[in-house]
């Protein structure tokens, strides 16, 4: 008897190709669409049009019955509230990682297994391997698109019941398959938005929950140089969006002082924007036993090239990382993922 798989079909071409490949492998494939956000009146939301696109794709592929899951409440509790709280505390969160851990591969996975499916499948760009009933997460064949960083908080249980059907294909090959089988969305461009909250600017989204007020922009001597009304949105060392008309050089956020109502900035030539070490907590280990100190490779942001480092345990849930080369703009709240060759071995939150 063939295994039953519930495939997440979105408006993007990758999910449709994933479903097609699973059907070719002999799986009994059903599809699902997740509703995680309902925009308030007056705000543009594409959920309905995305669902119609997904229906066209499923009809074209001849998929079996579809399921619509309403996880609006769970998404607000697990992801949106996490975003609001971290931004209010001046820490830049990573909603995509939290969504994967708490919604796609937890709430939804549990619903799928209760409905007697063997696996869920997504279009994530990652590879999964199994050795002695233990699962490893490996980088995708196309390093430019590899998404293991966003899956770095998954557990053994979550990996055991998940499939990543496009693991062996580079992006141009995915597009070619979509064109070869005449998918309705074969030429649709990729998009990057808040996870499940399409086409909404982060600043506009956060303003609904975090009160807006005027902040002073000051230099490192404490001199006021400008004013700003949206300090929570900015990350330490951020450059984009920071502008004071009389500064000829690019300026960076170096601190946010909530007690004094100040956003502190200065120019690159007067700052050391680089550091060779960091500390992290909330460790997430994959299955392998590791000997510390550990020579490995690290990423402190998505699509960053691997960086040589040494990892030392401080306690059971805290570690330090020393880089061979200094890293620019290490930001609290972001994730540091540690790799041995192509394998993700652990990750944690930068503090």
**Model confidence pLDDT, tens digit, residues 171-202:** 889 889 988 988 876 666 665 555 555 556 66
Domains and CATH numbers, the chain: 4-180 (3.40.50.620), 212-270 (2.30.30.280), 274-350 (2.40.30.10)
Q: Containing H/E element for 279?
A: strand 274-285
In DSSP terms, which residues pair with 265 in a beta bridge? 253
Predicted local confidence at residue 91, as pLDDT: 77
> Among the options 45, 195, 309, 336, which is catalytic?
195
In DSSP terms, which residues pair with 350 in a beta bridge? 280
Q: Is 99 a catalytic residue?
A: yes
Residue 154, C-beta contacts closer than 8 angstroms, at least 6 positions apart? 100, 101, 105, 137, 162
This prediction has a pTM of 0.84
Residue ranges of the chain whose pLDDT lies below 50: none
How far apart CA 228 and CA 217 sit, in angstroms, is 7
> Among the options 45, 99, 309, 336, which is catalytic?
99
């Amino acid at each position: 008897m063939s295994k039953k798989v519930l495939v997440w079909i979105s408006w993007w071409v990758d999910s449709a190709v994933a479903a097609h490949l699973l059907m070719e492998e002999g799986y009994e494939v059903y599809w699902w669409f997740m509703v995680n956000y309902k925009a308030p009146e007056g705000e543009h939301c594409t959920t309905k049009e995305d669902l119609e696109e997904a229906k066209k794709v499923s009809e074209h592929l001849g998929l079996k019955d579809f399921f619509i899951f309403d996880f609006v409440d769970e998404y607000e509790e697990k992801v949106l509230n996490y975003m609001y709280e971290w931004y209010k505390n001046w820490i830049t969160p990573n909603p995509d990682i939290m969504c994967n851990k708490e919604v796609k591969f937890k709430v939804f996975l549990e619903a799928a297994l209760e409905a007697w499916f063997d696996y869920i499948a997504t279009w994530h760009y990652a590879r999964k391997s199994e050795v002695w009933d233990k699962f490893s997460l490996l980088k995708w064949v196309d390093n430019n698109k590899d998404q293991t960083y966003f899956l770095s908080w998954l557990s053994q249980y979550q990996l055991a019941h998940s499939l990543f059907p496009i693991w062996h294909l580079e992006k141009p090959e995915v597009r070619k398959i979509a064109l070869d089988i005449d998918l309705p969305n074969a030429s649709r461009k990729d998009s990057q938005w808040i996870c499940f909250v399409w086409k909404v600017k982060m600043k506009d989204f956060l303003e609904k929950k975090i009160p807006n007020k005027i902040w002073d922009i000051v230099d490192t001597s404490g001199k006021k140089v400008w004013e700003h009304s949206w300090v929570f949105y900015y990350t330490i060392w951020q450059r984009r969006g920071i502008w004071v008309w009389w500064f000829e050089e690019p300026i960076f956020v170096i601190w946010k002082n909530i007690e004094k109502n100040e956003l502190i900035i200065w120019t690159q030539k007067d700052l050391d924007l680089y550091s060779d070490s960091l500390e992290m907590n909330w460790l997430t280990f994959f299955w392998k036993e590791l000997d510390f100190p550990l020579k490995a490779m690290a990423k402190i942001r998505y699509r960053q090239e691997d960086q040589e480092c040494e990892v030392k345990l401080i306690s059971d849930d805290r570690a330090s990382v020393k880089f061979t080369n200094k890293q620019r703009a290490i930001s609290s709240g972001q994730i540091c993922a540690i790799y041995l060759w192509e394998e993700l071995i652990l990750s944690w939150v930068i503090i």
